[in-house]
Amino acid sequence: MVDYTFEGEVNALSEKQQEFVKNVLEELGVKKGKVVIEAVGKPGDNYVANVKKLVVEKDGKIFKIIAKIAPTQEIPRQTMNTAICFSNENMMYSEVLPKFTQLEKDANIAVEERLKYAKLYGSYLEAPHEIILLEDLTLSDFVMLDRLTSLKDDSIKLVLKNFAKLHASSYALKNLEPETFEIFAKKLINIWELMGNVPEMDKFMKGFSTDIINAVDDEKYIDIIDQVMSDLMKEVSALSKIDKGKSYSVIQQGDPWTNNILFKLEGDKSIDCCLIDYQISKESSPVADLTYMIFNCTDFDTRSKHFHDWINYYHSELERYLNYYGLKTESTYPRNQLDEDFKRYSKFSLGQSIMMASMLIRESKDAGKFKEAMDDNKPMEEIMESTKMTLLDEATLKRFSNRVIGLIDTFFKLGYLKE
């Protein structure tokens, strides 16, 4: 009989999840011991999963695991497409990323040059008890940066290099094993496309757009916000149809905002990074990863200084990693296609970034209200009421307004919007 005792936030794990944790620990050779369940991060750090740290103590030794735990309440599960998100992430960690690593090994890419990701210890996908157990990357000195502060140039370039590795491996798989790529692409469900196919989303987006417009006090931007937000779901469907199955499409990370990217620091300079959270991974244009990260993780001034350099850097790194596989950007993903995709994605990217900004700019206390409403299984109307911009304090509203104006000004500056 294997004996474990659970302490701390024990209610975070159901009996089935506790049993699964015990089985994984036994497989890892950690037999018997005390499992302390600790909170990770603050409200607003993660919306789809409840993230905990499992600290296992045995014979004076400490073993730590990150546990991503699904909500059990019906309304948040439906709202956040929980089952699909956990299925996507399990697919990425158990099949897709290991396959990419094998391709990197076969191409003789040095270990230090390969794509980094957390080790998967195990997944349990029986609804509503989904749980994914992952390596604790903080033990390797990776840290999460402040989501309310723009990422700097050095950090952005590290992420772009990781995208180049991820996308190059995806192209290599498509070239070497097209059937395997197709299987992976079909199993990864596009959450944004699902949202776009929900009839109630049009009504929701109209109310959401009004709420956002009321929080921005500059008349110059109101018509633009109204237009991009009202067409957001139509853009999702259109882009999905265009990109699905195209030669330039890749398997992407899908949700690269600041809290889903861990950095290793040397002083105040980022020297390494690792992407986490693959719950929204899907097949799409590489640009979908780039625009999501750049427009959700940086401010207007930083983008104005470095945007074109970032795009040049990404494409040069993609070229470098494709070379390992005997591929060239000219035939795989030429620069003119990259530029065309940025323009094609511009309207959706702006609307998506405004939508994301309404959540990402919130202080922990405000994000906590949304999480509490979901945890209490409140009706959808009450959950959305908890996100109203009118409930935010003046400083947060100002931060949101500045962020939205900075986004729109960036799109003017890049020529994606006309004065």
Q: What's the topology of domain 110-116+143-413?
A: Aminoglycoside 3'-phosphotransferase; Chain: A, domain 2 (3.90.1200)
| Residues 141-176: b if buried by 16+ CB within 10 A, e if exposed | ebebbebeebbebebbbbbbbbbbbbbbbbbbbbbe
SS3 at position 65: strand
With vertex at residue 338, the alpha carbon angle to CA 333 and CA 339, rounded to the nearest 5 degrees, is 150
Task: Name the residue ranges covered by the structural domains of the chain.
Answer: 110-116+143-413
Q: How far apart are CA 147 and CA 399, in angstroms?
A: 13
pTM, 2 dp: 0.94
Q: pLDDT tens for the chain, 419 residues: list them.
A: 458 999 999 999 999 999 999 999 999 988 888 999 999 977 656 665 799 999 998 777 889 999 999 999 888 888 889 999 999 999 999 999 999 999 999 999 999 999 999 999 999 999 999 999 999 999 999 999 999 999 999 999 999 999 999 999 999 999 999 999 999 999 999 998 888 777 667 777 888 888 899 889 788 899 999 999 988 888 988 898 899 899 999 999 999 999 999 999 999 999 999 999 999 999 999 999 999 999 999 999 999 999 999 999 999 999 999 999 999 999 999 999 999 999 999 999 999 999 999 989 998 888 777 767 676 667 767 777 777 888 899 999 999 999 999 999 999 999 999 87
